[in-house]
Structure 1
Amino acid sequence: MKDCVIADITPEDAVRVIQWKYESPYDFYNIKSQAEAMQEFLINAYYSVRHGDQLIGIFCIGPSAQVPEGRAAGIYRESYVDVGIGMAPSYTGQGNGKDFFRIIVSYLKKQFPDAGVRLSVATFNTRAIRLYENTGFKSVATFPAKDADFIVMTHPTIMTT
């Protein structure tokens, strides 16, 4: 996954992401409303991660990375860079997560050199939780949402390892 390029998400990439289908239990991340997702992707801070002509994944920063129920509960009051990530289903479960996350972290470090980072992850997503813990993230809160419970994890500064 070296030599990946990060760019603003394109309409073509958004269409591809909308078509991604994950197997259970990760089917929670399958997009249900195509029109709503397309609008979300193209209006807000979403980025594509590409390797050549392959779309490896996407990520978002800011309010789009926050879970609405967590926002309503006041979970996101402290100042952090919120990030949400999604890897193409064909790349998941194969040990690609660490490199994919490093690419995103490297980008965030350049954009926000002194900022802490925060992410929210569904509690059942043990693969992602393990990845985040192994890169220094700590659980700081949990909250229930409509379809799943979430863990909020933070890192005081964006790391480069």
Structure 2
Amino acid sequence: MVFLDGLRCVTLPSRLRQLFLGPDMSSINIQSLSVIPMRPCDVPDILSWCYAPPYDFYDPPPHPNVELYTREFLNPALAFHVVLSEVGDLIGFCSYGVDGQVPGGDYSDDALDVGLGMRPELTGQGQGGAFLTAVLSHALSEWSPHQFRLTVASFNHRARKLYERFGFRFRSEFIDQQTDVHYVILTSRQHAF
């Protein structure tokens, strides 16, 4: 177990560390990433993120209500966390549980839903493996789920490819009736990690 500023963080299991070590992971040291509960100071940074198209789908709304988002992100029931580098830089955020679900999907199976958001400057550069490793390792150490579940927009082939490399498999697909966006649900058993 590793500690950062008195908050419990995660030491990555060796099997997960070995999955994605290589030249494409050189700028993020996966052994030094930490996952901690989201703090109020993280919210304005996350709300300033802007992704390049087509990933701008994930951008926060223009002029977001920081106070409202802070209350949501700090709600313990939604289990929002941040992933930090060894020097405390914000790499991304995640949620564990119901926040990882999208209206219209079939979530009847027992699984831990995981929602993810990575700093835009780090996306598309082969850094997702380290980020996802930290997020899933933290979930294993905290909740020991027998199955993980990820819901991803169908067009996000980059994320889907990463998730499949981690052993996630297609479970179902659906359309969010409110937004008309197509989604795919992927699941993976714990033993895949």
TM-score after normalising by structure 1:
0.91
1:4 and 1:154 mapped to 2: Cα distance?
24
**After superposition, where does 1:67-106 map in structure 2 within 5 Å?**
67-70=102-105, 75-106=106-137
1:140 paired residue number: 171
Gaps in structure 1 of 5+ consecutive residues: none
Count of equivalent residues = 156
Shift of 1:158: 5.7
CA 158–92 in structure 1, closer or farther in 2 if over 3 Å, else same: farther
1:113, distance to aligned residue in structure 2 (A): 2.4
Corresponding position of 2:97: 62
SS in 2 for 1:69: coil
Larger Rg: 2
SS of structure 2 residue aligned to 1:127: helix
Shift of 1:147: 4.5
Letter in 1 for 2:45: R
Q: In the alignment, does 2:186 pair up with 1:157?
A: no
Structure 1 runs (4+) deviating above 4 angstroms are: none
The alpha carbon displacement at 1:114 in A equals 4.5
- Name 1:107's counterpart in structure 2: 138
Of 1-10 and 124-133, the range deviating more from structure 2: 1-10
Q: CA deviation at 1:5?
A: 1.4
Residue 44 of structure 2: SS of its match in structure 1? helix
**Alignment pair present for 1:6 and 2:40:** no
State the one-letter code of the partner of 1:143: F
Q: Is the 8 A contact 2:112 2:145 kept in 1?
A: no
Q: Percent identity?
A: 33
Letter in 2 for 1:69: G
Q: State how far apart, in whole Å, the 2-side matches of 1:90 and 1:158 are.
A: 32
- Aligned in 2, Cα 1:151/1:22: closer, same or farther, shift over 3 Å? same
Separation (CA, whole Å) in 2 of partners of 1:118 and 1:158: 14
Corresponding residue for residue 31 of structure 1:
60
